[in-house]
Amino acid sequence: MADFAGRVVILTGATGGFGKVAARYFADAGASLVLNDLHVEPLEALAAELSGNVRTIAGDISDPELSERLVEVALTEFGRLDVAVNNAGIVHDMAPLPKTPVDVARRIIDVDLMGVFYAMRAQLPAFEQRFRDTGETGAIVNVASVAGVVGAPMLSVYSAAKHGVVGLTKSAALEYARRGVRVNALCPSFARTPMAEDFLDKAGKNRDAAEASLVQAIPMRRLAEVDEVMAGLIFLADPASSFVTGQTLQIDGGLSAA
């Protein structure tokens, strides 16, 4: 287990499949946490089961003021910010591009792309200021998707948003490489999260066929397990990965190797 004792972590999308596991890992590793998700009750329930210092702020990541508040809480409550995991995201139903509703497309872009932009816009100056003051560095991990590095038929807008996240990640990494901030993107394929399970459950009796369809392009022919994805997230967040920036870490069973 990487050591995050004494470190402060912002984590969005904290009550989702990846978020819960990440929150538990960081808490067990000694970090203080500032957790965000859309609804108060699941956030408070998660915080109650975690060890250590935890603060929660419910709200929509597509609101730029929320990201400012998360950074403010980290600095005022804990006095520092070491890691930001921009994990909040949504996906639209599978459909050909012309049949994707405009309002759905806008919501995907607002949450999955603009949400990451707002987050980094608030986080980067805080990281840079501490580096100037103390020489200490920080890390941002943007949870993108393998759909951000390859095309994703029937998920065109989601793919476009995640490609945007990768672009933001690489650009910010170049801007801040000498300003004390590492910025990387985690790019998993479909994993066995509640989001994926919900999609499969909608298939009803065709659930097995739906899962086979999801994994048909993955050489390993299976979904990722959440812990497998978390290993990559922790690697990117770990201070020991001090020369790793501007990268997209694909955890995809070989999908992007083709």
CA angle 82, 86, 88 (to 5 degrees): 145
CA distance between the termini of the chain: 32
pLDDT value at 14 more than 90: yes
User: Within a domain: residue 154?
Assistant: yes
**Is residue 123 located within the same domain as residue 234?**
yes
User: Within a domain: residue 213?
Assistant: yes
**Is residue 197 located within the same domain as residue 166?**
no
CATH number at residue 49: 3.40.50.720
| Secondary structure of residue 142 in the 3-state scheme | strand
Q: Structural domain tally of the chain?
A: 2
Q: What is the maximum alpha-carbon separation in the chain?
A: 59
CA angle 206, 21, 208 (to 5 degrees): 10
**Is residue 86 located within the same domain as residue 121?**
yes
25 part of the active site: no
Pairing of strands 181-188, 83-86: unpaired
The confidence score (pLDDT) of residue 215 equals: 87
The confidence score (pLDDT) of residue 258 equals: 79
> Quick one: which of 191, 184, 193 has its CA closest to 249?
184
User: Within a domain: residue 257?
Assistant: no
**Is residue 199 located within the same domain as residue 122?**
no
pLDDT single digits (tens) 119-172: 999 999 999 999 999 999 999 999 999 999 999 999 999 999 999 999 999 999
**Is residue 65 located within the same domain as residue 183?**
yes
**Is residue 131 located within the same domain as residue 196?**
no
Candidate list 25, 118, 158, 176, residue with the active-site label:
158
pLDDT value at 63 more than 90: yes
Retrieve residue 2's tokens. 């990487």
- Comparing 50-64, 130-144, 197-211, the range with the smallest average pLDDT is 197-211
User: Within a domain: residue 1?
Assistant: no
User: Within a domain: residue 130?
Assistant: yes
The confidence score (pLDDT) of residue 204 equals: 81
**Is residue 46 located within the same domain as residue 90?**
yes
186 φ/ψ sector (left φ>0, alpha ψ -120 to 50, else beta): beta
Question: In which domain, by residue range, is 211 found?
Answer: 190-223
User: Within a domain: residue 200?
Assistant: yes
**Is residue 87 located within the same domain as residue 111?**
yes
The confidence score (pLDDT) of residue 51 equals: 87
**Is residue 117 located within the same domain as residue 199?**
no
**Is residue 90 located within the same domain as residue 199?**
no
User: Within a domain: residue 2?
Assistant: no
pLDDT value at 213 more than 90: no
**Is residue 217 located within the same domain as residue 111?**
no
User: Within a domain: residue 79?
Assistant: yes
**Is residue 195 located within the same domain as residue 184?**
no
The confidence score (pLDDT) of residue 193 equals: 85
pLDDT single digits (tens) 80-123: 999 999 999 999 988 999 999 999 999 999 999 999 999 999 99
Q: pLDDT tier at 206 (50, 70, 90 boundaries)? A: confident
- Comparing 45-49, 184-188, 194-198, the range with the smallest average pLDDT is 194-198
